[in-house]
């Protein structure tokens, strides 16, 4: 715990020092936000968030559980807020408890949460690979070995084949709940979900691009929206797999700042300010999603 706290404090110091050292640049920069782009970004972020919850609902239906979509949306976003608590188990625990009241077995809920995380991660890796040709450093290098990275595309799809995916998922469930469950998922369902989440990653990238362009008016590299999609995926996945960072707080922002500088040539101070702004924007979108779900019947 001391090491984890030290890492988070070091990240906070790094981000804070970026703001302090570049404070004059930040206050003198002509932010002049474009309200239309801000609203468009918010609309896409909220819409993408609701589509993520519906993707989870589809996974549950594939597993034989037909809970009404409005209830799934409400459960998803009420429990999603728990990701800001210490440890990363409370979101899954909340979903297990709330879906149990809907008659969904604990082990099935756990399977759906694990399946979504695996599909989300694999689709994220695939999207990052698709964005690599747009990265300025890689595009300039044009190293033949870069092509080997694209072998991960068929490898990722192979890993998701039911003969591999189902035993791995069943093994993880047994480790978590000590219950054996034979998960039956068609490969067509899995591929459809991967394609669906690839689209959601791209939507998240476009929404973040509009948010950036709403406040940052300097020139950006060609295909910057595609580069930004890769940055968001990498930052989110690293934050999600870091066990001691609730909701990836600090870790996600750190990687955004580092990648903004190397791939988009954005100064550290502005990149840090935007990374923090993006976090606030995401929380705002999540709260709106919670409000929307309570309006549904």
Q: What are the DSSP calls for 68-114, one per residue?
A: -HHHHHHHHHHHHGGGGSSSS-HHHHHHHHHHHTTT--HHHHHHHHH
Q: How far apart are CA 100 and CA 80, in angstroms?
A: 17
pLDDT given for residue 148 in this prediction? 57
Confidence of residue 3 (pLDDT cuts 50, 70, 90): confident
Q: Give the tokens for residue 295.
A: 């309006």
Angle at 197 between CA 11 and CA 48, to 5 degrees: 75
Angle at 189 between CA 156 and CA 232, to 5 degrees: 50
Q: Are 163 and 185 in contact (CB under 8 A)?
A: no
Residue 258 clears pLDDT 80, i.e. is over it: yes
Tokens 């033949």 label which residue? 144
pLDDT tens, position by position, 45-82:
999 999 999 999 999 988 888 889 889 999 999 999 89
Beta strands in the chain (DSSP E): none
Confidence of residue 143 (pLDDT cuts 50, 70, 90): low
pLDDT given for residue 85 in this prediction? 85
Confidence of residue 296 (pLDDT cuts 50, 70, 90): confident
Residue 259 clears pLDDT 90, i.e. is over it: yes
Q: pLDDT exceeding 90 applies to what percent of the chain?
A: 48
pLDDT tens, position by position, 206-220:
999 999 999 999 889
Buried b (16+ CB within 10 A) or exposed e, 121-155: bbbbbbbbbbbbebbbeeeeeeeeeeeeeeeeeee
- For the chain, give the mean pLDDT: 86
**Residue 285: which of 43, 110, 53 has the closest Cα?**
43
User: What does the pLDDT average to over 138-152?
Assistant: 57
pLDDT given for residue 165 in this prediction? 72
Q: pLDDT exceeding 70 applies to what percent of the chain?
A: 88
Give the distance, in angstroms, between the CA of residue 297 and the centroid of all CA atoms in the same chain: 27
Q: At what angle do helices 35-62 and 69-80 cross, to 10 degrees?
A: 110
DSSP class of residue 38 equals H
């Amino acid at each position: 715990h001391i090491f984890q706290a030290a890492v988070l404090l070091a990240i906070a110091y790094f981000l804070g020092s970026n703001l302090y050292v570049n404070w004059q640049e930040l206050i003198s920069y002509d932010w002049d936000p474009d309200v239309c782009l801000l609203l468009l970004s918010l609309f896409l972020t909220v819409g993408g968030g609701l589509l993520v919850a519906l993707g989870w609902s589809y996974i549950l239906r594939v597993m034989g559980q037909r809970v009404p979509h409005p209830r799934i949306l409400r459960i998803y976003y009420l429990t999603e807020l728990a990701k800001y608590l210490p440890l990363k188990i409370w979101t899954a625990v909340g979903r297990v408890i709330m879906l149990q009241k809907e008659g969904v077995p604990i082990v099935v809920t756990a399977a759906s949460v694990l399946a979504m995380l695996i599909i989300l991660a694999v689709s994220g890796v695939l999207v990052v690979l698709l964005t690599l040709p747009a990265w300025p450093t890689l595009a300039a290098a044009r190293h033949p070995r870069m092509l080997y990275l694209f072998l991960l595309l068929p490898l990722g799809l192979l890993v998701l084949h039911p003969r591999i995916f189902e035993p791995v998922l069943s093994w993880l469930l047994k480790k978590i709940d000590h219950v054996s469950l034979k998960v039956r998922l068609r490969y067509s369902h899995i591929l459809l979900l991967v394609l669906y989440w690839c689209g959601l990653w791209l939507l998240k990238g476009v929404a973040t691009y509009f948010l950036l362009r709403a406040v940052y008016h300097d020139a950006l590299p060609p295909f910057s929206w595609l580069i930004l999609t890769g940055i968001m995926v990498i930052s989110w996945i690293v934050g999600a797999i870091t066990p001691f960072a609730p909701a990836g707080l600090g870790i996600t922002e750190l990687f955004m700042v580092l990648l903004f500088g190397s791939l988009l040539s954005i100064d550290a101070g502005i990149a840090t300010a935007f990374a923090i702004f993006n976090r606030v924007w995401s929380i705002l979108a999540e709260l709106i999603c919670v409000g929307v779900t309570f309006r549904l019947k």
